């Protein structure tokens, strides 16, 4: 069985020292090993951003996609390779700005993909503009007088879009983060794991200390029931979206793959799709 070290490769991350993304990379590698995966059973698909580089830093199949399109690619990979564990990953800009349409529909489609958002509440790669996760009043190069837009709450949106697995974590809490990724991988359906991942270079407000002061860990509420959707929505609102842990899980809804009628159990990538020269000529003739 592979250890987490076997999910490492020899590419040195060029994230800034102290960036929260390092721990997310480590948590994915640990979770993959803990659930018994081998590198050849895992595909990590990423978007564009500092966060998007993660697919190149894990020893597994990888695809560094385009900005905001991580989920269409990840869903395609999953549909073609049903046996493969697919992790999609990208920034809050990638998933909640340009890619938000895909995020909402992937959530309600419920394909078996684990989506890890590296939420630093800013655009890191493009050197510090506001993202939909930035707080009102947040001053950046794109909002020198402070953002006048309200902050988007991905957890509330996920719940209202019909999510079957919603979790949130903090890159400093490697134990909780690893466990949530393991649970997300095992969940049969779409899992959203939003991870607070400080950008030490451009976000001087939402720092490690700021998150430590503001996070509400669900472990404080031993009676919390993550199968209760109304309770989950209340808790998200009560804590202003700052809670961490497994917030909601519905195991009764079937995944998309299991509902597609006539869909072969064997992944497309493994099916024999060779056609004869005759069949090929007939196909081409249809387009003449
Ligand atoms: C279609 C398109 N629009 C804009 C960009 C420029 N761009 C690259 S990364 C990025 C945002 C990065 O922020 P985020 O997704 O939060 O990732 P981070 O760098 O913070 O990890 C933008 C706007 C792009 N590459 N492609
Ligand atoms: S700019 Fe920010 S998000 Fe990008 S690598 Fe540096 S610390 Fe991380």
Q: Express each pLDDT in 192-217 by its tens digit.
A: 999 999 999 999 999 999 999 999 99
Within 6 Å (CB) of ligand 2, which residues are found? 15-16, 19, 21, 50, 120, 124, 199-202
Which ligand minimizes its atom distance to the CA of 171? Answer: 2
Tell me: pLDDT of 267 over 80: no
Question: What's the half-sphere exposure (Cβ side, CA atoms, 13 Å) at 248?
Answer: 26
Nearest CA to ligand 2 atom 6: 16
Please spell the DSSP secondary structure of 170-185, one letter per residue.
ETT-HHHHHHHHHHHH
Long-range contacts from 146-150, C-beta under 8 angstroms, 24+ separation? none
What pairing do the DSSP bridges indicate for beta strands 61-64 and 243-249? Answer: unpaired
Q: Which of 17, 19, 125, 196 to mutate to test the pocket of ligand 2 (most atoms within 8 A of CB)?
A: 19
Which domains, and CATH codes, for the chain?
4-256 (3.40.50.970)
Question: What's the half-sphere exposure (Cβ side, CA atoms, 13 Å) at 97?
Answer: 21
Nearest CA to ligand 2 atom 8: 19
**pTM confidence score:** 0.95
- What's the whole-number mean pLDDT along residues 150-156? 98
For 231-261, what is each residue's pLDDT tens digit? Answer: 999 999 999 999 999 999 999 999 998 898 7
Tell me: pLDDT of 264 over 90: no
For 16-54, what is each residue's pLDDT tens digit? Answer: 999 999 999 999 999 999 999 999 999 999 999 999 999
List the structure tokens of 237: 């609102």
- pLDDT of 98 reads 98
Q: 70-80 vs 100-109: helix axis angle to the nearest 10?
A: 30
Atom of ligand 1 nearest to the CA of 48: 9
Nearest CA to ligand 1 atom 13: 123
Q: Is 95 exposed, middle or buried (0-12, 13-18, 19+ CB in 10 A)?
A: buried
Q: Which of 123, 154, 196, 200 to mutate to test the pocket of ligand 1 (most atoms within 8 A of CB)?
A: 123
d(CA 210, CA 85): 34
Please spell the DSSP secondary structure of 50-64, one letter per residue.
TGGGGGGGBSSEEEE
Name residue, tokens 């506001």: 130
d(CA 15, CA 3): 24
Question: What's the half-sphere exposure (Cβ side, CA atoms, 13 Å) at 154?
Answer: 36
Tell me: pLDDT of 180 over 80: yes
Q: What are phi and psi of 282, to 5 degrees?
A: -65, -40
* Cα radius of gyration (the chain): 20
Please state, for a pLDDT cut of 90, what percent of the chain lies above it. Answer: 91
């Amino acid at each position: 069985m592979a250890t987490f070290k076997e999910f490492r490769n020899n590419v040195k991350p060029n994230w800034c020292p102290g960036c929260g993304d390092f721990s997310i990379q480590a948590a994915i590698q640990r979770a993959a090993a803990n659930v018994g995966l081998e590198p050849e059973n895992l595909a990590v698909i990423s978007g564009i951003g500092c966060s998007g580089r993660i697919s190149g830093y894990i020893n597994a199949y990888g695809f560094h996609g385009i900005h905001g399109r991580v989920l269409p690619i990840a869903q395609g990979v999953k549909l073609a390779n049903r046996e493969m564990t697919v992790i999609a990953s990208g920034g809050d800009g990638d998933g909640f700005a340009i890619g938000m349409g895909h995020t909402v529909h992937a959530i309600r489609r419920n394909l078996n993909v684990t989506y890890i958002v590296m939420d630093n509440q800013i655009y890191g790669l493009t050197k510090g503009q506001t993202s939909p996760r930035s707080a009102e009043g947040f001053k950046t190069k794109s909002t020198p007088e402070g953002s006048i837009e309200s902050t988007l709450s991905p957890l509330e949106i996920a719940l209202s879009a019909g999510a079957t697995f919603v979790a949130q974590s903090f890159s400093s809490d490697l134990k909780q983060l690893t466990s949530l990724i393991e649970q997300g991988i095992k969940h049969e359906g779409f899992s959203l794991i939003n991870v607070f991942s400080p950008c030490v270079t451009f976000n001087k407000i939402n720092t490690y200390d700021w998150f430590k002061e503001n996070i509400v860990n669900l472990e404080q509420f031993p009676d919390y029931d993550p199968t209760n959707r109304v309770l989950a929505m209340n808790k998200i609102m009560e804590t202003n979206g700052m809670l961490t842990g497994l917030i909601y899980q519905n195991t009764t809804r079937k995944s998309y793959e299991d509902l597609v009628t006539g869909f072969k159990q064997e992944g497309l990538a493994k099916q024999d799709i060779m056609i004869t020269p005759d069949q090929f000529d007939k196909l081409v003739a249809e387009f003449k």
